[in-house]
Amino acid sequence: MSRPGEPPLIPPPAPPSAPSALAPATHPTIVVVGHGMVGQRFLEALAERGVTARARVVVLAEEPRPAYDRVRLTSYFSGSTPDDLALGEPGFLDRHGIELRLGDPVESIDRAARTVTSRSGLVTGYDTLVLATGSAPFVPPVPGKDATGCFVYRTIEDLLAIEAYAATARTGAVVGGGLLGLEAAGALKGLGLATHIVEFAPRLMPVQIDEGGGAALLRTVESMGLAVHTGVGTQEVIADAAGAVTGMALSDGTRLATDLVVFSAGVRPRDQLARDAGLTVGPRGGIEVDERCRTSDPAVFAIGECALASDGRVYGLVAPGYEMAATVADELAGPAERPGPGFTGADLSTKLKLLGVDVASFGDAHGAAPGSLGVVYSDARAGIYKKLVVDPDGVLLGGVLVGDADLYGTLRPLTGSVPPVSPEQLVLPAGIGAPPALGPDSLPDDAVICSCHNVTKGAICACFSLPEVKKCTKAGTGCGSCVKVIGQLLTAAGNGPADSGLCGCFPYTRGELYEIVRTLRVTSYATLLDTHGREGARGGDGCEICKPTVGSIIASLAPTLGVSGYVLDGEQAALQDTNDHFLANIQRNGSYSIVPRIPGGEITPEKLIVIGEVARDFGLYTKITGGQRIDLFGARVDQLPLIWTRLVDAGFESGHAYGKSLRTVKSCVGQTWCRYGVQDSVRMAIDLELRYRGLRSPHKLKSAVSGCARECAEARGKDFGIIATANGWNLYVGGNGGAEPRHAELLAQDLSDAELVRLIDRFLMFYIRTADRLERTSAWLERIEGGLDHVRDVVVHDSLGLCAELEQLMASHVAGYRDEWAETINDPERLRRFVSFVNAPDAPDPSVKFVPERDQVKPDLVFLTLEGVSAR
What is the three-class DSSP state of 578?
coil
Q: How far apart are CA 393 and CA 371, in angstroms?
A: 10
CB neighbour class for 174 (10 Å; exposed up to 12, middle 13-18, buried from 19): buried
C-alpha separations of 112 from 60, 109, 116 in Å: 20, 9, 11
Of 343, 303, 327, give the one whose Cα is nearest residue 132: 303
Q: Cα separation of 391 and 325, whole Å?
A: 34
- Specify whether the CB–CB gap between 739 and 750 falls below 8 A: no
DSSP secondary structure letter of residue 826: T
**3-state SS of 449-515?**
EECCCCEEHHHHHCCCCHHHHHHHHCCCCCCCCCHHHHHHHHHHCCCHHHCCCCCCCCCCCHHHHHH
Q: How far is CA 715 from the centre of its chain?
A: 33
Going by C-beta distance under 8 Å and a sequence separation of 6 or more, which residues neighbour residue 316? 135, 267, 305
Please compute, for residue 298, the number of CA atoms within 13 A of its CA located in the half-sphere on the CB side.
8
The 3-state DSSP class for residue 402 equals strand
Q: How distant is the alpha carbon of residue 334 from its chain centre? A: 35
712 is in an annotated binding site: yes
Tell whether residue 306 is among the known ligand binding residues: no
Q: Could you give the CA distance from residue 489 to residue 510 in angstroms, rounded to a whole number?
A: 25
C-alpha–C-alpha distance, residues 391 and 399, integer Å: 12
Q: Is 463 annotated as a binding residue?
A: no
**Is 472 annotated as ligand-binding?**
no
The SS3 call for residue 323 is: helix
69-100 residues labelled b (16+ CB within 10 A) or e (exposed): bbbebbebbeeebbeebbbbeeeebeebebeb
Of 770, 783, 726, 767, nearest to 750 by C-alpha is: 726
User: DSSP secondary structure string, 276-306?
Assistant: HTT--B-TTSSEE--TT-B-SSTTEEE-GGG
Best CA proximity match to 151, nearest among 142, 167, 163: 163
Exposed, middle or buried by CB within 10 Å (0-12, 13-18, 19+), for 3? exposed
Question: What b/e string do you get for 394-421 counting C-beta neighbours within 10 Å, with b at 16 or more?
Answer: ebbbbbbbbbbbebbbbbbbbbeeebee
What is the 8-class DSSP label of residue 581?
Answer: G
Strands (E), 598-751: 621-624, 630-635, 662-667, 701-706, 720-725, 728-733, 745-751
Residues forming a β-bridge with 858: 851
Dist CA 295 CA 281 (whole Å)? 9
Q: Say how far apart CA 42 and CA 39 lie, in whole Å.
A: 5
What lies within 8 Å, CB to CB, of 319 at 6+ separation is 346, 347, 451, 452, 453, 478, 479
Please give the Cα distance from 469 to 462 (Å, whole number). Answer: 9
Residues 6+ away with beta carbon under 8 Å from 839 = none
CB 85 within 8 A of CB 69: yes
Q: Which amino acid is at 215?
A: A
Binding residues: 668, 674, 708, 712
Binding residues for siroheme: 712
Binding residues for [4Fe-4S] cluster: 668, 674, 708, 712
